[in-house]
Structure 1
């Protein structure tokens, strides 16, 4: 039986905060081709020890970036990323890679993902970088993003419908 491996949330957020206002030269920048937000989030997940997934029946069931010509749309585009990340695994799955689910606002932690959605489709991805509490009460979250680069920006100031994704870990063989 496969075992769920831990996601290093702090490492993902450390990467996000380091690169939120610049670009890691190891990766392509997609700012001029529709935006770099989901590419940035994918990089954060890799930094959080989630391995690339090149085991799937088609490119929408894989998640990887080796170079600009050898990558999946799930790595760089918000809606394919969402469909991959929440559809890749379930408790009885034999899939390799990330294990995530839809989440409620109040259950987010650092390293989880928020997306902006229009007419049911995601068009922007962000990573939660801080949880702001007053005592035990949740006040807000801060997020990092590319495409209108932001470092530790209040999620409450992002306009529009939002969707939340809880990263639970990953499976490998």
Structure 2
């Protein structure tokens, strides 16, 4: 059966981000001291908006326990690769976009040194015009909510618009 693209619940993702931006959901391990918790938090937000995980070993996107999770659940580059995959498999899907295409519930990834991407905040608000000052994010590993994107010092940025959720 070919998975069908269904709507992503942006409101649920953003509500989750607000609820847990300054706390930790006890259902998920806190990776703060194991390289950072930002992508784990971003995945939780995406899960709140999608309601489905992809249990494909290695290349999926899932969390069962601290030691039973896909690399994409907590790894910045792996999450990007999962969201932008070419194959239709269950779970949220995204595509690279410009700042003017961002919506609440979308994902941003930042590179602080310009070599690799290390941070995955979730967009919670986009003002008009869509500028770094008017894009507000929520994140872990330096917990934040309603933080302007412009307050980060980064060398590279990539933005992902969540186009929907593939469901069986």
| Equivalent residue, structure 1, for 2:69 | 71
Aligned partners of 1:22, 1:95: CA distance in 2, in Å? 31
Residue correspondence of structure 1 range 2-21 to structure 2 within 5 A: 2-21=3-22
Q: Deviations over 1:78-118 (max 9, x none)?
A: 1111111112x4xxx44222221111111100000011124
Q: Distance in 2 between matches of 1:78 and 1:132?
A: 26
Q: Following the alignment from structure 1 to structure 2, what is the Cα–Cα distance between the partners of residues 2 and 19?
A: 30
Verify the 8 A CA contact 1:75 1:81 in the aligned structure 2.
yes
How far does residue 8 in structure 1 lie from its aligned partner after superposition? 0.3
**In structure 1, what is the equivalent of residue 140 of structure 2?**
146
Return structure 1 stretches of 4+ with deviation > 6 angstroms: none
TM-score (norm 2): 0.91
Q: Which structure 1 segments of 5+ residues have no match?
A: none
Instruction: Assess if the C-alpha contact under 8 Å between 1:82 and 1:122 holds in 2.
Output: no
* CA RMSD, Structure 1 to Structure 2 (Å): 1.5
CA distance in 2, matches of 1:4, 1:166: 14
* Equivalent residue, structure 2, for 1:116: 110
Q: Distance in 1 between matches of 2:102 and 2:11?
A: 14
Inter-partner Cα distance in structure 2 for 1:80 and 1:46: 16
Q: Aligned runs of 1:125-164 on 2, under 5 Å?
A: 125-133=120-128, 137-139=129-131, 140-160=134-154, 161-164=156-159
